[in-house]
A and B are shown apart, each in its own frame.
Chain A
Amino acid sequence: MVNLAMITTVKPSIFLLALFCFILSGCAANNREMSEVANQLRHNLPVETALTKLEAIKVEQQSSAQLQLNLGYLQLVSGDYQNAIINLEGAKETMLSLQAVSISENLSSATVNETFRSYSGWPTDQVLVHGMMAMAYLLNNDLNGARVEILQADVQMNKLAETKNTQGQLAFVRYLAGVIYELNDEYDSALISYRMALSIITARQESPPQPLQQSLIDLTAHIGLNEESKKYQQQFHLVLSKPYSNKQFVFSFDGVVTQMMQAKSTLWWPIDDVYLSVALPNFPRNNYVESKSYIHTQHSELATQTIENIEERARGDLQARMPKITAMALARAGAKFQTVKELNKKDNVLGAFANVLTIISEVADLRHWGMLPSSIQVATSYSTKKTLNLSTHYGQQTLDLSQSTISGKSHSVILLSSLTNQIHLASF
């Protein structure tokens, strides 16, 4: 943290201030462009067009991870798994390299604004990047690659858990880990991951989705932990599945997460006994309405159920960081106030000009992984037919499972997204 007293004694010249304003203008503009694309995606912009628009954005170095996260996610849902992996890996490496505290970025953000910081990802981003990469590897039929990602996600979640808060603890990633282990016949590890997913959801006082409940019941029985299986059966009012050879793990990405907005606020500056205006990031009201997909089996209709509410996670991340952001904004506003006061003493015109520049330079950092879905939903079915009938955002769709039947593979991973009518399938 930058020393407050040190900031207040700084006497910057207008030239320096103007130059800083010029340099910073790039980051805010980049984020505006990405936010616009995200907002258009919410209003049915085709994902291919969104990708083209994103690819045309030239970002500053400090926002490269944010762009790569957005590109990688859209490439994943549009079926370009190879490029999704490349971009998400790039974002992951950049975010990792930015874990150390930067002296220059701290000084810049304490004197000008927060957009000078390199985007190192929110806790949700730092974990979810592994989840999205694991999905890309799975759909690319690379189970080992997916396994590597969920192991890395585990390390990252354990690191984040050291601070004893729940930021970055994602039930979706734990559940996905369970699925990957199950596909790899590692039932012990799968059960541990499912238990962890349940523990995260229970800590949030949410209800676990039915596929997670069923997996816990079935796997505990499979391993021979019959008492635990019975306990889950009583708790969830479900019974053990009949023996099955075909299982379809369905994941559905619904919506586009709400974009952050800038809110002007006034804070008390005790050194000069004045209220100072600051720009802070803020999420508007959550108007997301969940849209489910359905799987029609021989006997029933299964709805996808939410395992991760990204709207809530994004707001949680921001809320956890707000005290730090607010303290920095106040220190910065105080430094700017001092600068203007000093210049005013020398020359009123210069002081007025400096005042305008300090107001212009005060912008909130609104960067986040803005293309993420509002919610991640899951379902499982046990169909032995060659086709699977689904009702999605795009109406009735029939998925051909015959390839997996022909090749003798029995389990499938299916990805649906409200951004595209494509259904992605991989068989194991």
Chain B
Amino acid sequence: MRLLAIILSVVVLSACGTTKVQRIDSSETIDLSGAWNDSDSRMTAQTMVADVLNRPWINRHVSQKGKPPTVIVGSIKNLTHEHINTNTFISDIERELINSGRVDFVASAQQRGEIRDERKDQDLNSTEASRNAAGQELGADYMLSGQINTIIDANASTQVRYYQVDLTLISLADNRKVWVGQEKIKKLVENAKIRY
């Protein structure tokens, strides 16, 4: 009797949960499922950009060309077990690079297309004084591209998730790889064996 009463309470009470929303700091790390999340993206971008900016290629470029290098971020391929939105990772890298002030940054191919359309529109519709001329774009010296890979080892309730982010900076002038960076993240995810 007592046992059944407990079961009934459990069944009835399970429907009583309400939605609760709490605002938290966007830099706070919260791991729920163990999957790649915003914190992984941000921290990896910070670490890898710090590394790329502290390597000799940057000083070599400045001494040779007399100006900071101009960089563009190319594609970062998702080869993981998860549907990762690599655009947020690319944005994180772009932000870190731009805010460092040590490199110039140019728009992506898609953004350039939009800007060129706008320039054509200015040619037709803007005053001469405010018009921006074509052919004045800054060309990139280097392209940053890469991939994110995973290795997952799992049993019934435990998973080891290993992420490896490989980025390469390639000189557009001669295809030289001037920097290769690697960041690894390893997570042990233990799922509950028993639930309520």
Contacts and interface: CB of A to CB of B under 8 A. Distances in A.
Given A12-B1, A104-B10, A147-B79, A155 B194 contact: no
Contacts of B78: 144, 148
Interface stretch (A16-24, A26-34, A239-247): A16-24
Interface stretch (B59-67, B132-140, B152-160): B152-160
A360 interface: no
Given A144-B78, A145-B83, A152-B81, A99 B8 contact: no
> How many B residues are at the interface, by size bracket?
20 to 34
Contact of B195 (A11, A23, A100): A100
Contacts of B176: none
Contacts, number: 70
B4 interface: yes
Nearest to A151: B81
Given A104-B10, A148-B82, A6 B3 contact: yes
Given A16-B4, A102-B194, 12 more contacts: A11-B1, A16-B5, A98-B195, A99-B191, A100-B194, A103-B194, A103-B195, A103-B196, A147-B79, A148-B80, A148-B83, A152-B81
Interface in B47-100: 77-83
B7 interface: yes
Of B11, B77, B155, most A-chain CB atoms within 10 Å: B11
Contacts of A49: none
Of B1, B154, B155, most A-chain CB atoms within 10 Å: B1
A148 B157 CA distance: 21
A43 interface: no
Interface in A44-100: 98-100
Interface string B143-173: 0000000101011110000000000000000
A101 interface: yes
Contact of A159 (B4, B79, B155): B155
Contact of B154 (A6, A13, A158): A158
B196 A155 contact: no
B11 A104 contact: yes
A25 to B, nearest CB: 14
B1 A10 contact: yes
Interface string A126-170: 000000000000000000110110011001001100100000000
A107 B3 contact: yes
B84 to A, nearest CB: 8
A111 interface: yes
Contacts of B10: 104, 107
A151 B11 contact: no
A111 B196 contact: no
B81 A155 contact: yes
A16 B8 contact: yes
B18 interface: no
A12 B157 CA distance: 35
B127 interface: no
B124 interface: no
